[in-house]
C-alpha cells in the first residue's frame, strides 16, 4: 500500500466550543487580555516603523504578572507561578488570521494554539490552563500556518516566565537582576520599514536572515548593569531562522544554568554556546570582578554555514544579511554604579529531570523522523508537509508511554538500526536520506521543536556532519536538562526521550526555522 494512503484524517479531537467562551467554573489566578495590534513605533530615528505587537492588560493577578516592554514591539513579559490557573483572552486586531502558541508549555490541545484554531480580526480566543511546567523561560508567539514567520518578524512574541518552589529555594538573582535578552535579526529599508523575504521563494527556502541585531526589540543593544551585581540573563533566540554562536568578547567561558525547560542539575561552563531559534538559556553574569574600564559584550563568533545558507545552489542575490562566518556584536554590557546583590549560583541546582530511556517501548528502534527536502524545493518531515488536522500512522502515540524519537537531518544511521518502530523508512520513495548525493547539496540546519512536552537528549550523532562545520560548533551544545527545541545540523541525528502524559489530542512538531515551518515542514502527532 502506498505510504500516503495510510494517513488518517482526524476531524477534530477538540471540544466544539474550544476557545470561544469564558468558563465560569475555571477559577483563574491570572486573567489577561492580550491584543494583537498593528501600530508604529520609533525603533530607528526619525521615521516610525510599522509593526505588530501584543498589548496586554491585567484583569486579575498580582501587578508584577504583566510587564510591557516600553518602546518595543516585543513583549509583554508574563510572570506566573507553577500551579497558577491562567486565563488569556486573545483578541485579534490585526488584519490577518492569527492564534497564539505557548512555546514549551504542557497544555491541552485546545490551549496549544493549533493553526486550525486561527481567529479572524475582531474575534477572541480564550485560553484556560493550569501552569504545569516547572520554573523556566517559556515564550509565546503566533502559529497561523503559512504566516507565523511574518507575524513574529513584525513583532509578535513575548516571554512566559514560570517560577516554582524549587527555584525560589535557591538564592538566584531576582527583580532588576533577572533580565530578559531576546535576540532577533532584522532588516530595515531606507524608510525604516521592516524588510521580509525580499528575494521571494529563495529567501523562504533559506529562511529569513537580517542585517542587524535587535535586543528586546530595540536597536540599542546595550544593558546598563550594576558594577558588582550578579545577574541572571534569560536569553531567547527569537530570530526567524538564525542560530548564534555566542561568546564573551573577553574570552571567558559562559556559565549556563538553565535551558528551555528550566534549571540544570548543575551549572555548565562552555567556551561558547550555540543558540538555535526558539531555544532559551539562563546565563550567569557576575560583574563583581569587573573593572569599569573593561569592555564586556556578548558576540557572535563565525560559523562556516554561509554556503548552506544562501550560497551555493540557493544563489540568493542582493543578500545584505550578516554572514554566519563573521564576528558581530550581540549585546554590550555597560557598567554603572557599584551596587551589590546577595544572589548566588549554587553548584547543585535542580534534582534530576532525566527521563529513563529504558522505559521507552521503542528504545532499540526509535521512531524516526527525517527532516529533508522532497523534490528540490519543498522542506518535508518523512516526505510529508503539514496538512491541517491530518496525522499519519507513524505519527500516533499512546498516552502514558515513553518513547525515543530520532530526529534525523541526513545523519549516518547504521543499517541494523535504521528502521523505526513501524518499519517505515520515512521517505516516500523508500530511500534513506544518508547525506549523500543531490540531497546533500540542499541540506540545511533545522531547529526542531516539539509542542506540549519537554524531552531529554540521549544521543547526538555527528558522523555525517561536515568536519569543518562540526569543529566550529562542537563545544557549544548543551545536551543536559529538559528541552523543547534542538538544532539539527546537516548530517546530524539526535535521539530524544519523551513522555506523553496528561493530554490526548493533536500536537505539532516542526522546524522552527519559521520560513521552513510556513512552507509546511511541520506535522501533527496524535496522543491517543
Ligand atoms: Cu528547517
The alpha carbon of 516 and the centre of ligand 1 are apart by a number of angstroms equal to 5
The alpha carbon of 178 and the centre of ligand 1 are apart by a number of angstroms equal to 32
* pLDDT reading at 12 higher than 60: no
Instruction: Please identify which residue in the block is written with the cell numbers 547525506.
Output: 435
* Under 8 Å between Cβ of 229 and 341: yes
CA nearest neighbour of 523 among 464, 457, 448: 448
Q: How far apart are CA 281 and CA 268, in angstroms?
A: 11
Confidence of residue 337 (pLDDT cuts 50, 70, 90): confident
Cell matching residue 500: 506523553
* Under 8 Å between Cβ of 184 and 238: yes
Cis peptide before 76 (omega within 30 of 0): yes
The alpha carbon of 471 and the centre of ligand 1 are apart by a number of angstroms equal to 22
| Average pLDDT for 423-432 | 36
The alpha carbon of 185 and the centre of ligand 1 are apart by a number of angstroms equal to 17
Model pLDDT for residues 121-155, shown as the tens digit of each residue: 999 999 999 999 999 999 999 999 999 999 999 99
Confidence of residue 189 (pLDDT cuts 50, 70, 90): very high
Least confident of 161-165, 255-259, 417-421, 440-444: 417-421
Burial call 265-283: b when 16+ CB within 10 Å, e when fewer: bebbebebbbbbbbbbbbb
* pLDDT reading at 286 higher than 80: yes
Least confident of 284-293, 345-354, 420-429, 459-468: 420-429
| Average pLDDT for 63-89 | 96
Least confident of 202-206, 413-417, 447-451: 413-417
Confidence of residue 311 (pLDDT cuts 50, 70, 90): low
The alpha carbon of 450 and the centre of ligand 1 are apart by a number of angstroms equal to 13
The alpha carbon of 308 and the centre of ligand 1 are apart by a number of angstroms equal to 12
The alpha carbon of 380 and the centre of ligand 1 are apart by a number of angstroms equal to 9
| Average pLDDT for 39-55 | 95
Span between the terminal Cα atoms of the chain, in Å: 24
CA nearest neighbour of 64 among 72, 76, 73, 54: 76
The alpha carbon of 242 and the centre of ligand 1 are apart by a number of angstroms equal to 11
CA separation, residue 283 to residues 162, 270, 385, 389, 401 (Å): 17, 11, 36, 38, 33
The alpha carbon of 205 and the centre of ligand 1 are apart by a number of angstroms equal to 9
Q: How far apart are CA 78 and CA 382, in angstroms?
A: 36
- pTM assigned to the model: 0.93
Q: Which helix (H) or strand (E) holds 259?
A: strand 254-259
The alpha carbon of 68 and the centre of ligand 1 are apart by a number of angstroms equal to 31
| Average pLDDT for 312-336 | 85
The alpha carbon of 519 and the centre of ligand 1 are apart by a number of angstroms equal to 9
Instruction: Please identify which residue in the block is written with the cell numbers 526521550.
Output: 497
Please count the CA atoms within 13 angstroms of the CA of 169 that sit on its side-chain side.
8
Residue 150: other Cβ atoms inside 10 A: 21
Model pLDDT for residues 84-104, shown as the tens digit of each residue: 999 999 999 999 999 999 999
| Average pLDDT for 261-273 | 98
Q: What is the DSSP string of 305-328?
A: -GGGTTSTTT--SS--SPPTTS-E
* pLDDT reading at 435 higher than 90: no
Q: List, in order, residues 6 or more apart from 336 with CB less than 8 Å away.
A: 224, 225, 226, 227
Confidence of residue 297 (pLDDT cuts 50, 70, 90): very high
The alpha carbon of 410 and the centre of ligand 1 are apart by a number of angstroms equal to 13
Q: How far apart are CA 493 and CA 488, in angstroms?
A: 7
Does 433 or 160 have the greater pLDDT score?
A: 160
* Under 8 Å between Cβ of 3 and 428: yes
CA nearest neighbour of 112 among 521, 502, 497, 516: 502
Burial call 125-142: b when 16+ CB within 10 Å, e when fewer: bbbbbbbebbbbbbbbbb
Q: How far apart are CA 145 and CA 139, in angstroms?
A: 18
pLDDT at residue 315, rounded to an integer = 61
The alpha carbon of 444 and the centre of ligand 1 are apart by a number of angstroms equal to 7
- Decide: helix, strand or coil at residue 225: strand
Confidence of residue 310 (pLDDT cuts 50, 70, 90): low
By DSSP bridging, strand 30-41 and strand 85-92 are parallel
What's the chain's average pLDDT?
Answer: 90
Q: How far apart are CA 20 and CA 420, in angstroms?
A: 39
CA nearest neighbour of 388 among 63, 91, 10, 53: 10
The alpha carbon of 314 and the centre of ligand 1 are apart by a number of angstroms equal to 15
Query: Which protein residues have their CB within 5 A of the ion that is ligand 1?
Result: 446, 511, 513, 516
pLDDT at residue 441, rounded to an integer = 54
Does 8 or 200 have the greater pLDDT score?
A: 200
* Under 8 Å between Cβ of 19 and 125: yes
| Average pLDDT for 498-517 | 98
Q: How far apart are CA 93 and CA 119, in angstroms?
A: 10
Least confident of 14-18, 322-326, 482-486: 14-18
- For 493, phi then psi, to 5°, come to -130, 150
The secondary structure of the chain in percent helix, strand, coil, rounded to multiples of 5, reads: 10, 40, 50
The alpha carbon of 334 and the centre of ligand 1 are apart by a number of angstroms equal to 36
- Decide: helix, strand or coil at residue 232: strand
- For 345, phi then psi, to 5°, come to -105, 105
- For 116, phi then psi, to 5°, come to -70, -10
The alpha carbon of 341 and the centre of ligand 1 are apart by a number of angstroms equal to 42
pLDDT at residue 396, rounded to an integer = 98
The alpha carbon of 182 and the centre of ligand 1 are apart by a number of angstroms equal to 21
Cell matching residue 226: 550594576
The alpha carbon of 54 and the centre of ligand 1 are apart by a number of angstroms equal to 26
| Average pLDDT for 277-283 | 98
Q: How far apart are CA 240 and CA 150, in angstroms?
A: 9
Q: What is the DSSP string of 147-208?
A: THHHHHHTT--EEEEEE-HHHHTS----GGGEEEEEEEEE-B-TTS-B---TTTHHHHHH--
pLDDT at residue 289, rounded to an integer = 82
Per cent of the chain over pLDDT 90 is 80
Amino acid at each position: 500500500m502506498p505510504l500516503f494512503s495510510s494517513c488518517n484524517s482526524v476531524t477534530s479531537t477538540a471540544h466544539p466550543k474550544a476557545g470561544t467562551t469564558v468558563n465560569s467554573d475555571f477559577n483563574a489566578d491570572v486573567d489577561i487580555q492580550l491584543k494583537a495590534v498593528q501600530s508604529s513605533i520609533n525603533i530607528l530615528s526619525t521615521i516610525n516603523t510599522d509593526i505588530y505587537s501584543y498589548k496586554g492588560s491585567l484583569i486579575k493577578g498580582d501587578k508584577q504578572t504583566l510587564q510591557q516592554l516600553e518602546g518595543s514591539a516585543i513583549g509583554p513579559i508574563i510572570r506566573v507561578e507553577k500551579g497558577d490557573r491562567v486565563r488569556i483572552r486573545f483578541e485579534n486586531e490585526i488584519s490577518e488570521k492569527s492564534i497564539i502558541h505557548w512555546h514549551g508549555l504542557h497544555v491541552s490541545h485546545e490551549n496549544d494554539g493549533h493553526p486550525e484554531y486561527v481567529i479572524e480580526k475582531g474575534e477572541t480566543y480564550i485560553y484556560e490552563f493550569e501552569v504545569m511546567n516547572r520554573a523556566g523561560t517559556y515564550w509565546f508567539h503566533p502559529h497561523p500556518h503559512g504566516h507565523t514567520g511574518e507575524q513574529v518578524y513584525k513583532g509578535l512574541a513575548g516571554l512566559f516566565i514560570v517560577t516554582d518552589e524549587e527555584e525560589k529555594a535557591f538564592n538566584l538573582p531576582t527583580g532588576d537582576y533577572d533580565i530578559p535578552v531576546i535576540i532577533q535579526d532584522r532588516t530595515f529599508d531606507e524608510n525604516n520599514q521592516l524588510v521580509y523575504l525580499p528575494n521571494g521563494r529563495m529567501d523562504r527556502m533559506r529562511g529569513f536572515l537580517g542585517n542587524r541585531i535587535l535586543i528586546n526589540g530595540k536597536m540599542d543593544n546595550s544593558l546598563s548593569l550594576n558594577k558588582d551585581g550578579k545577574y541572571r540573563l534569560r536569553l531567547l533566540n527569537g530570530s526567524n531562522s538564525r542560530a548564534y554562536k555566542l561568546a564573551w568578547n573577553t574570552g571567558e567561558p559562559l556559565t549556563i544554568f538553565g535551558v528551555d525547560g528550566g534549571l540544570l542539575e548543575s551549572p555548565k561552563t562552555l567556551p561558547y554556546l550555540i543558540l538555535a531559534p526558539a531555544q532559551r538559556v539562563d546565563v550567569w553574569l557576575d560583574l563583581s570582578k569587573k573593572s569599569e574600564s573593561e569592555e564586556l559584550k556578548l558576540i557572535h563568533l563565525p560559523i562556516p554555514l554561509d554556503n548552506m545558507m544562501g550560497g551555493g545552489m540557493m544563489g540568493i542575490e542582493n543578500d545584505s544579511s550578516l554572514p554566519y562566518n563573521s564576528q558581530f556584536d550581540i549585546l554590550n554590557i555597560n557598567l554603572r554604579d557599584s551596587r551589590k546583590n546577595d544572589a548566588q549560583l549554587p553548584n547543585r541546582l535542580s534534582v534530576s529531570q532525566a527521563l529513563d530511556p529504558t522505559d521507552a517501548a521503542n528504545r532499540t528502534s526509535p521512531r524516526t523522523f527525517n527532516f529533508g527536502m522532497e523534490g528540490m524545493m519543498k522542506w518535508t518531515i518523512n516526505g510529508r508537509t503539514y496538512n491541517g488536522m491530518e496525522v499519519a500512522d507513524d505519527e500516533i502515540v499512546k498516552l502514558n508511554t515513553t518513547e525515543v524519537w530520532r530526529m534525523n537531518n541526513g545523519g549516518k544511521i547504521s543499517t541494523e538500526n535504521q528502521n523505526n518502530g513501524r518499519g517505515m523508512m520515512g521517505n516516500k520513495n523508500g530511500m534513506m536520506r544518508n547525506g549523500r548525493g543531490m540531497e546533500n547539496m540542499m541540506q540545511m540546519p533545522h531547529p526542531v521543536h516539539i509542542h506540549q512536552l519537554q524531552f531529554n537528549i540521549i544521543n547526538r550523532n555527528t558522523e555525517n556532519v561536515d568536519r569543518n562545520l562540526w569543529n566550529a560548533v562542537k563545544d557549544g551544545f548543551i545536551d543536559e536538562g529538559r528541552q523543547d527545541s534542538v538544532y539539527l545540523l546537516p548530517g546530524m541525528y539526535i535521539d530524544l526521550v519523551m513522555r506523553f502524559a496528561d493530554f490526548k489530542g493533536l500536537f505539532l512538531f516542526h522546524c522552527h526555522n519559521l520560513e521552513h515551518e510556513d512552507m509546511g515542514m511541520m506535522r501533527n502527532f496524535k496522543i491517543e
